[in-house]
Amino acid sequence: MNTVEPIAISVGKTQRVRSDIWHSVWTDTIVAGPPQTPLLLADEDIVDDPTTAADPELAPSINNRRRPNATNIPRMPADLATGDAADAPKTPAVSTAVDRLDVRSLSLTLPNGRQLLSNVSFSARPGTLTAIIGPSGAGKSTLAKLVGGVLTPTTGEVRFAGHCMSDDYAGLRHRIGLVPQDDVVHHQLTVRAALRFAAELRLPDAATEERAAAVARVLEELELTDHADTRVDKLSGGQRKRASVAMELLTRPALLILDEPTSGLDPALDRQVMTMLRRLADAGRVVLVVTHCLTYLDVCDQVLFLTPGGKTAYCGSPHDIGAVLGSADWADLFTRISADPDTAHRDFLTRHGAPPAPLRAPSSPTAAPPRLLRQTSTVARRQARLVLADRGYLAFLAVLPFILGTLSLLVPGDTGLGVADPYSRAAEEPVQVVFMLSISAMFMGCALTIRDLVGERSIFQREQIAGLSATAYLAAKIAVYAVAAATQTAVLTAIVVVGKGAPTRGAVLLSNPILEMYTTLAATAIVSAIMGLALSALAKSQDQILPMLVLAMMLSIVFCGGMIPVSGRPVLDQLSWASPARWGFAATASTTDLATIAPLLQTNDALWSHNTCWWLLNMAMLIVLGTTLAAAVRWRTRLRLARSRSARQTAKRSCRPRPLPPCSNPLKLRETTVRRMTPTQTP
Ligand X SMILES: Nc1ncnc2c1ncn2[C@@H]1O[C@H](COP(=O)(O)OP(=O)(O)OP(=O)(O)O)[C@@H](O)[C@H]1O
CB of residue 259 to Mg ion, shortest distance in Å: 6
Q: Taking the CB of residue 333, how many other CB atoms lie within 10 A of it?
A: 22
Nearer to ligand X, 137 or 171 (CB): 137
Q: Which helix (H) or strand (E) holds 580?
A: helix 580-592
CB of residue 308 to ligand X, shortest distance in Å: 8
Bridge partners of 304, per DSSP, are 132, 315
Burial 246-260 (b: 16+ CB within 10 A, else e): bbbbbbbbbbbbbbb
**Which region holds residue 251: left if phi is over 0, alpha if psi is between -120 and 50, else beta?**
alpha
CB of residue 117 to ligand X, shortest distance in Å: 8
CB of residue 138 to ligand X, shortest distance in Å: 4
- Residue 153's closest CA among 94, 98, 86, 107? 107
CB of residue 133 to ligand X, shortest distance in Å: 9
Q: Which residues, at least 6 apart from 513, have a Cβ–Cβ distance to it below 8 Å?
A: 502, 503, 504, 505, 506, 507, 591, 592
CB of residue 293 to ligand X, shortest distance in Å: 12
Q: With CB cut-offs between 5 and 8 Å by kind, which of ligand X, Mg ion, none does residue 669 bind?
A: ligand X
CB of residue 114 to ligand X, shortest distance in Å: 7
CB of residue 563 to ligand X, shortest distance in Å: 43
Q: With CB cut-offs between 5 and 8 Å by kind, which of Mg ion, ligand X, none does residue 667 bind?
A: ligand X
Nearer to Mg ion, 138 or 530 (CB): 138
Q: With CB cut-offs between 5 and 8 Å by kind, which of ligand X, Mg ion, none does residue 666 bind?
A: ligand X
Q: With CB cut-offs between 5 and 8 Å by kind, which of Mg ion, ligand X, none does residue 510 bind?
A: none
Query: Rounded to the nearest 10 degrees, what angle do helices 580-592 and 429-449 cross at?
Result: 140
Q: With CB cut-offs between 5 and 8 Å by kind, which of Mg ion, ligand X, none does residue 175 bind?
A: none
Q: With CB cut-offs between 5 and 8 Å by kind, which of ligand X, Mg ion, none does residue 268 bind?
A: none
Q: With CB cut-offs between 5 and 8 Å by kind, which of Mg ion, ligand X, none does residue 110 bind?
A: ligand X
- Contact positions vs ligand X (CB under 6 A): 110, 116, 134, 136-142, 666-667, 669
| Residue 358 dihedral angles phi and psi, to the nearest 5° | -60, 160
Q: Measured at CB, which residue is nearest to Mg ion?
A: 141
Angle (CA) 227 233 235, round 5°: 35
Nearer to ligand X, 308 or 679 (CB): 308
- Residue 307's closest CA among 343, 341, 260, 336? 341
Nearer to ligand X, 212 or 669 (CB): 669
Nearer to Mg ion, 274 or 589 (CB): 274
Nearer to ligand X, 202 or 241 (CB): 241
Q: With CB cut-offs between 5 and 8 Å by kind, which of Mg ion, ligand X, none does residue 138 bind?
A: ligand X
Q: Which amino acid is at 221?
A: E
CB of residue 137 to ligand X, shortest distance in Å: 4
Q: With CB cut-offs between 5 and 8 Å by kind, which of ligand X, Mg ion, none does residue 136 bind?
A: ligand X
- Contact positions vs Mg ion (CB under 5 A): 141
For residue 497, give Cα distances in angstroms to 176, 426, 503, 563. 56, 18, 8, 21
For residue 531, give Cα distances in angstroms to 92, 383, 581. 58, 18, 11
**What sections of 501-562 are H helices per DSSP?**
513-538, 545-559
CA distance 267 to 108: 33
Nearer to ligand X, 235 or 674 (CB): 674
Q: With CB cut-offs between 5 and 8 Å by kind, which of Mg ion, ligand X, none does residue 580 bind?
A: none
Nearer to ligand X, 110 or 623 (CB): 110
CB of residue 671 to ligand X, shortest distance in Å: 6
Are 25 and 125 in contact by the 8 Å Cβ rule? The answer is: no
- Residue 675's closest CA among 84, 150, 142? 150
Nearer to Mg ion, 141 or 262 (CB): 141
- Residue 563's closest CA among 408, 435, 655? 435
Length of the chain: 683
Q: Which amino acid is at 543?
A: D
Q: With CB cut-offs between 5 and 8 Å by kind, which of Mg ion, ligand X, none does residue 420 bind?
A: none
Nearer to Mg ion, 167 or 259 (CB): 259
Nearer to Mg ion, 141 or 678 (CB): 141
Burial 33-45 (b: 16+ CB within 10 A, else e): eeeeeeeebbeeb
CB of residue 130 to Mg ion, shortest distance in Å: 16
CA distance 677 to 663: 18
